[in-house]
Amino acid sequence: MVFFRSISALSRLRSRVGQQSSLSNSVRWLQMQSSTDLDLKSQLQELIPEQQDRLKKLKSEHGKVQLGNITVDMVIGGMRGMTGLLWETSLLDADEGIRFRGLSIPECQKVLPAAPSGAEPLPEGLLWLLLTGKVPSKEQVEALSKDLASRAAVPDYVYNAIDALPSTAHPMTQFASGVMALQVQSEFQKAYESGIHKSKFWEPTYEDCLNLIARVPVVAAYVYRRMYKNGDSIPSDKSLDYGANFSHMLGFDDEKMKELMRLYITIHSDHEGGNVSAHTGHLVGSALSDPYLSFAAALNGLAGPLHGLANQEVLLWIKSVVEECGENITKEQLKEYVWKTLNSGKVVPGYGHGVLRKTDPRYVCQREFALKHLPDDPLFQLVSKLYEVVPPVLTELGKVKNPWPNVDAHSGVLLNHYGLTEARYYTVLFGVSRSLGICSQLIWDRALGLALERPKSVTMDWLEAHCKKASST
Ligand code: NMX
Ligand code: MLT
Q: Contact 318/384 with Cβ under 8 angstroms?
A: no
Q: How many residues does the chain have?
A: 473
Return d(Cα 257, Cα 250) in angstroms, integer: 11
More confident residue, 6 or 107: 107
pLDDT given at position 363: 98
Residue whose CA is at the smallest distance from ligand 2 atom 1 = 271
pLDDT of residue 136 exceeding 80, the answer is yes
CA–CA gap between residue 405 and residue 417 (Å, rounded): 20
Determine the distance separating the centroid of ligand 1 and the alpha carbon of 354, expressed in angstroms.
Answer: 7
Q: Whose Cα sits closest to atom 9 in ligand 2?
A: 275
pLDDT reported for residue 36: 61
pLDDT tens-digit map of 1-56: 333 333 334 344 433 333 333 444 444 445 444 456 999 999 999 999 999 999 99
| Of the candidates 450, 444, 446, the residue with the CA atom closest to the CA atom of residue 47 | 444
Ligand 2 surroundings by CB, under 6 angstroms: 271, 275, 307, 354-355, 406-407
pLDDT at 67: 97
- Judged by average pLDDT, the poorest of 121-125, 326-330, 359-363, 387-391 is 326-330
The one-letter code for the residue type at 131 is L
Q: Which atom of ligand 1 is nearest to the CA of 342?
A: 2
Pocket of ligand 1 from Cβ distances under 6 Å:
306-308, 310, 342, 347-354, 394, 399-402, 406-408
What band does 340 get if pLDDT is binned at 50, 70 and 90? very high
What is the tens place of the pLDDT at every residue in 240-296?
999 999 999 999 999 999 999 999 999 999 999 999 999 999 999 999 999 999 999
pLDDT digits (tens, 9 = 90+) for 307-339: 999 999 999 999 999 999 998 899 999 999 999
Task: Give the separation between CA 272 and CA 98, rounded to whole angstroms.
Answer: 8
Where in the sequence numbering do the catalytic residues fall? 307, 353, 408
Alpha carbons 35 and 138: distance in angstroms, whole number: 12
What's the pTM value of the predicted model, to 2 decimals?
0.94
Q: What is the per-residue pLDDT across 171-197, written as a single tens digit (0 to 9) for each?
A: 999 999 999 999 999 999 999 999 999
SS3 350: coil
- Residue-level pLDDT at 14: 38
Which residue's CA is the nearest one to ligand 2's atom 7? 275
Nearest CA to ligand 2 atom 6: 275
Note the ligand closest to the C-alpha atom of 79. Answer: 1
Query: How many other CB atoms are there within 10 angstroms of residue 231's CB atom?
Result: 12
Q: Is the pLDDT score of 433 beyond 60?
A: yes
